[in-house]
Chains A and B, each alone.
Chain A
């Protein structure tokens, strides 16, 4: 028994090493198939999350307002923050109509600049108001002026009046969006509330995840904040789901097509390389090997190649997925360990199928016929 195993190992090694080009071609195709399977499966698995993440470029997808323009209850922000979790971003807004020096009405808004900066990435801001601006002119509040509003204000330093209270302001920068923001003046929320005594009237929440996840968050917010109007930005949520679904469907078909192509090419390569060795097969049988032993040898060869191919391909595939993530989404797509067994299984199946089909053909033939020629 030990002798036969010993000779089997020698045969296996010889079989693989003797005609190296053929073995390398087979191994190479098995590496390609494993790498492609790994890269595409990893990409597909993280696609949903990556795509939804891209849609956050449209900003907030949930809006909380008090009915009839009233102020939100003071604990709303902390409750919303607790419910929506650390991955959501929340921007508070408060609005009031103030007067310029010549009595014209202008919308003034109070907000949290660092939150706006993270959520409303389309705001084109020349310079964000920050601590620097405040220290430069400590008496005036640093404000962000809409590009349209700028034309109606006297200059960098001006004051606005609300309810008889004047507030000196300093234009730290301008904001341009092409929307209603262009006609407004933005202040830090604390300064705004101190001036107008209007607290936040709107919370804009940028929540991650799919439409279903956003819907669940909406339901939880409605339950926890009964007096507040909670609604999704329908325009964003509906289209997002559709575009993500269609992109995923497109990817799915692409993956299927690529996987099928590679699998059949690999199958063709391996089958040809087994068929090529029908003479080895015939000689072994002529020398007295059983059908069983010969099949085992060929199968072991295929399995060994498939194993090496799967291990090398798995690493190459993860590298490919990582690079695609970096190039396209600017975030890494990390290896998924759970797909390793699937890749291995897939490779083994291809190898065994590729070895098995020609074996069945060869089994039916007599060694003498095979040795004589075609």
Chain B
């Protein structure tokens, strides 16, 4: 009898069920989509922010003092200590290796620039010594051995997305190609394809780069060539690392060595800029790694604000959807006061009527809630694709949350009217609502 009543109610009152169901469906859709977006917006914005460049820098531990002004180092290239290029693979072996998106080693040096004998038309008017930088362009980094080896393509162009290149980056490990900074090229009337003598070796200009900073006055060389020029194979002056990090909080600022073991583990296993730097130092004991505070702190601020904003909007969506659904459930029940009165007049107990109504509401909420979850997930997925070119994955954890919410809100919206009507005399209810 109970199930027949339940069935009939759904079959016969299709318009009412449709309206109430639609409200619940849309409510869950909005809430699911907003929560899914809120949960993944941090990652998406983090990836966007990696275009600010490196947030970590690795330098040799026992180093001489940098003498650098306006982005140009005045210290001789041969002074001080170096990192070993071969060790950089170890950076992909640390705990948070998957958060490291790019590695860019640098080796600053000075080179003499002269016109190649083969291009007679051009004469270099620069001072003999120009600043140069040895870099990875599209370096293939191999981590692991045998068939399980992972390869990554890393280098300076990915680290500096704001660099604008005309031409091409030098090919992998080429030792006869280079890129010129745009100011330097303009000053010496050099063009793409020209041949130059750099420290006596014949080099072809494959590209001209505009960076908007001191790089515009430099020669960018493949790292191997730079090492060859200074005579230190495998030497690297500093390494810039771009990593996806979590904004700094009170825990992040603590010194890990003074923390109790449990907190230390939490510190170590959170992708703070500080803990990634700490792990890099563990992998390269002779190096000093630290966050570049300008980028790391700025990114932290932006990340916190934007994900905070999305969470608050998700909360607002949740509250407003809950209120709107509750209001429409109240009305949906009020409409049916007569039905309640009639059932009571025919001898149904209060509990039986209440059970019927609550079962109906729950069933409706579950049906619409599931549909709403699917629709909301799809919507979040599409919005992620549209805005960030990366789909937001379906989040199964949200299903029970969305359903629980749908059932709770629908019951909370309908219950007061059901209870109020049940308290009234059936005769009054039946007469009242004419």
A249 within 8 A of B: yes
**Can you give 28 A-B contacts (C-beta < 8 A)?**
A33-B324, A36-B316, A51-B306, A55-B298, A57-B298, A121-B297, A123-B293, A124-B293, A148-B65, A149-B65, A178-B291, A234-B162, A235-B212, A238-B51, A239-B48, A239-B161, A247-B45, A251-B313, A254-B317, A257-B30, A258-B320, A261-B324, A262-B320, A265-B325, A266-B328, A279-B434, A324-B313, A327-B308
Which residues from A are CB-within-8-Å of B290? 178
Contact between B334 and A35 (Cβ–Cβ < 8 Å)? no
A349 within 8 A of B: no
Contact between A268 and B317 (Cβ–Cβ < 8 Å)? no
Within the complex, the shortest CB–CB distance from B430 to chain A, in Å, comes to: 13
The listed residue (A29, A258, A329) touching B316 by CB distance below 8 A is A258
B37 within 8 A of A: yes
Closest A residue, CB atoms, query B164 = A234
Task: Give the contact-size bracket for chain B.
Answer: 35 or more
Of B67-75, B144-152, B189-197, the one with at least 4 CB within 8 A of chain A: B67-75
For B50-68 the 0/1 string (1 means CB < 8 A from A) is 0111000100000011111
How distant is the Cα of A146 from the Cα of B332 in the complex, in angstroms?
Answer: 69
The listed residue (B70, B75, B293) touching A95 by CB distance below 8 A is B70
Known: A235-B160, A265-B23. A328 touches B305 (CB 8 A): yes
B211 within 8 A of A: yes
> Chain A's interface: helix, strand, loop or mixed, by majority?
helix
The listed residue (B306, B320, B335) touching A276 by CB distance below 8 A is B335
Within the complex, the shortest CB–CB distance from B267 to chain A, in Å, comes to: 18
A179 within 8 A of B: yes
Within the complex, the shortest CB–CB distance from B387 to chain A, in Å, comes to: 5
A5-34 contacts to B, CB under 8 A, are 19, 21-22, 25-26, 28-29, 32-33
Known: A54-B302, A258-B316, A329-B305. A272 touches B19 (CB 8 A): yes
Contact between B316 and A320 (Cβ–Cβ < 8 Å)? yes
Closest B residue, CB atoms, query A124 = B293
How distant is the Cα of A65 from the Cα of B212 in the complex, in angstroms?
Answer: 12
Contact between B324 and A25 (Cβ–Cβ < 8 Å)? no
For B30-59 the 0/1 string (1 means CB < 8 A from A) is 100110010001001100110111000100
Which residues from B are CB-within-8-Å of A306? none
B107 within 8 A of A: no
The listed residue (B29, B52, B308, B324) touching A29 by CB distance below 8 A is B324
The listed residue (B34, B49, B67, B294) touching A107 by CB distance below 8 A is B67
Which residues from A are CB-within-8-Å of B20? 268, 272
Contact between A21 and B330 (Cβ–Cβ < 8 Å)? yes
Closest B residue, CB atoms, query A36 = B320
Closest A residue, CB atoms, query B273 = A178
Within the complex, the shortest CB–CB distance from A187 to chain B, in Å, comes to: 15
Which residues from A are CB-within-8-Å of B53? 235
A115 within 8 A of B: no
Contact between A268 and B22 (Cβ–Cβ < 8 Å)? yes
Known: A254-B313, A262-B320, A264-B22. A25 touches B330 (CB 8 A): yes
How distant is the Cα of A148 from the Cα of B67 in the complex, in angstroms?
Answer: 11
A residues with a Cβ closer than 8 A to B are 19, 21-22, 25-26, 28-29, 32-33, 35-36, 39-40, 43, 51, 54-55, 57-59, 65, 69, 95, 97, 104-107, 120-124, 148-149, 151-152, 176-180, 183, 202, 231-236, 238-239, 242-243, 246-247, 249-251, 253-255, 257-258, 260-262, 264-266, 268-269, 271-273, 275-276, 279, 320, 324, 327-329
Contact between A65 and B70 (Cβ–Cβ < 8 Å)? yes
Contact between A231 and B212 (Cβ–Cβ < 8 Å)? yes
B312 within 8 A of A: yes
For B423-434 the 0/1 string (1 means CB < 8 A from A) is 000000000001
Closest B residue, CB atoms, query A234 = B212
Given contacts A239-B51, A251-B309, list 20 more A-B pairs with CB under 8 A: A22-B334, A32-B323, A35-B320, A43-B313, A57-B302, A59-B298, A95-B69, A180-B68, A183-B66, A236-B52, A246-B44, A246-B45, A250-B310, A257-B317, A257-B379, A258-B34, A264-B26, A271-B19, A328-B309, A329-B305
Contact between B305 and A54 (Cβ–Cβ < 8 Å)? yes
The listed residue (B298, B331, B383) touching A250 by CB distance below 8 A is B383
> Chain B's interface: helix, strand, loop or mixed, by majority?
helix
B27 within 8 A of A: yes
Within the complex, the shortest CB–CB distance from B417 to chain A, in Å, comes to: 6
B262 within 8 A of A: no
B292 within 8 A of A: yes
How distant is the Cα of A262 from the Cα of B386 in the complex, in angstroms?
Answer: 24
Which residues from A are CB-within-8-Å of B379? 257
Within the complex, the shortest CB–CB distance from B51 to chain A, in Å, comes to: 5
Contact between A177 and B292 (Cβ–Cβ < 8 Å)? yes
Contact between B69 and A97 (Cβ–Cβ < 8 Å)? yes
Best-buried of B52, B302, B331, B386 by chain A (most CB within 10 Å): B331
Known: A21-B330, A58-B294, A276-B334. A32 touches B67 (CB 8 A): no
How distant is the Cα of A254 from the Cα of B296 in the complex, in angstroms?
Answer: 28
Contact between B298 and A249 (Cβ–Cβ < 8 Å)? no
Within the complex, the shortest CB–CB distance from B374 to chain A, in Å, comes to: 15
Which residues from B are CB-within-8-Å of A329? 305
Contact between A178 and B293 (Cβ–Cβ < 8 Å)? yes
Contact between B331 and A183 (Cβ–Cβ < 8 Å)? no
Within the complex, the shortest CB–CB distance from A58 to chain B, in Å, comes to: 4
Contact between B34 and A257 (Cβ–Cβ < 8 Å)? yes
Closest A residue, CB atoms, query B294 = A122
Those 7 A-B pairs whose CB atoms lie nearest each other, nearest first: A265-B324, A234-B212, A29-B327, A58-B298, A122-B297, A122-B293, A183-B66
